[in-house]
Amino acid sequence: MNENLDYLFNEEQETKTDKTQPERLSGEDYAAKKEAERQTVYDLADNTAKAVATNGTAFQSYLNTMSRFELYSPTNTLLIYAQRPDATRLRDYDKWKEAGTPVKEKGAIMIIEREDYKRDDSSTGYNYNVKKLFDISQTTAKPSEPPKALSIKLLCQALIKSSTSKVVLVNELSGDAKGTTGAQYIPEIDQIEIVKGLDGQSIFRCLSQEIAFANLDHIPAEKLPCNDKDFTAYAASYALCQKYGIDTKDYNFSKVPEYFSNVEDKDLRKEIGAVRDTVADISSEMSKSIEQLQKAAKNQDAR
């Protein structure tokens, strides 16, 4: 999916910046124009949600894009996927220009940005407006060097530290899972078991899924943003693996249409957004832990 929304903006705005002479519109007409722009972008997000919810391959492709932009809102990750699924780094026109790598290619990526303002009574209000971004591939910047791969040991350590549930090593899983391999979350004692002897990548895959499930299980039922914690945790685990370079060949999303078949259209963005939110929460905690672990290792080497 790659929907071009350039028709929302004139040629001059696309190639320069937003500092061109604005149209002379009345306040009412200007507000109507902005609302029409927002609605067009929101419609694209809704249509994209429907598209990825009815096709397992499309859903997996969306997760690939989202894994690079999990700090963007669920709506904006859908918009990025819809317009430029292979994007890797986004900035607006002025930020790229300030970096000395101006935009050379048309085709802005439209997202929704919240803008706060002060009301006459000094309270804070906010608007949601369309914002234009460009990917690094649309600029004169050289392609970024891929980041240095983190060791699987470091990634697993950071993943374990990110867990709010206790993680314990066991010879075999308890209860109904006894005799199987992998990991399991036990809600009654808020604990995650993981069997000994797994290789690093297997540890990351099964542990990320159980941590994701545990995080969702900690959310009160009335506030839970998804209908199926198992599915959301599975998709979040896949996205985390994509983000950190873990092998994902055994993940399968062929049942995506079946899963979403009972989700109303108006709830699709929220349901898909639950995956993004879960990934963002775990990834944020992992980033903090990775920084702490690397700093500790560096201090140890300096002694």
Give residue for tokens 């062929």.
Answer: 254
The answer to whether position 235 is within a domain reads: yes
Residue 143 lies in a domain: no
> Final residue of a domain: which of 76, 103, 138?
138
Q: In terms of residues, how long is the chain? A: 303
Render pLDDT for 195-253 as a digit per residue (tens, 0 to 9).
Answer: 999 999 999 999 999 999 999 999 999 999 999 999 999 999 999 999 999 999 999 99
* Same domain for 156 and 248: yes
Q: Do 98 and 129 belong together in one domain? A: yes
Element (H, E) at 164: none
- CB atoms closer than 10 angstroms to residue 38: 16
Cα distance between residue 249 and residue 82, in whole Å: 24
- Residue after which a domain boundary falls, among 138, 172, 188: 138
Is 31 inside any structural domain?
yes
Choosing from 138, 167, 184, the residue where a domain stops is: 138
Indicate if 115 and 195 belong to the same structural domain: no
What is the model's pLDDT at position 210? 96
Whether 10 and 77 share a structural domain: yes
Could you tell me whether strands 191-195 and 183-186 are parallel, antiparallel, or unpaired per DSSP bridges? Answer: antiparallel
Q: Which residues pair with 91 in a beta bridge?
A: 134
Same domain, 186 and 263: yes
Residue 146 maps to a domain: no
Do 120 and 160 fall into the same domain? no
What is the pLDDT, as a whole number, of residue 176? 78
Phi, psi of 48 (to 5 degrees): -70, -40
Residue 115's φ and ψ, nearest 5 degrees, are: -120, 120
**Residue in this structure with the two tokens 């985390």, named with its chain if needed:** 240
What is the structure's pLDDT at 12? 42
Domain count along the chain:
2
Shared-domain flag, residues 67 and 112:
yes
Rounded distance between C-alpha atoms, residue 224 and residue 106, angstroms: 40
């910047």: which residue's tokens? 141
Query: How high is the pLDDT of residue 302?
Result: 64
Q: pLDDT under 50 in the chain at which residues? A: 7, 10-17
Write out the DSSP string of 31-53: HHHHHHHHHHHHHHHHHHHHHHH
Q: Which residue has the tokens 């700093």?
A: 295
| Residues 131, 159 within the same domain | no
- Domain residues for the domain of 57 are 6-138
Which phi and psi angles does 90 have, rounded to 5°?
-120, 140
> Measuring CA to CA, which residue among 187, 203, 202, 190 is closest to residue 164?
190
Residue 202 has, within 13 A of its CA and on its CB side, a CA count of 9
Composition of the chain by helix, strand, coil, percent to 5: 50, 15, 35
pLDDT at 17: 46
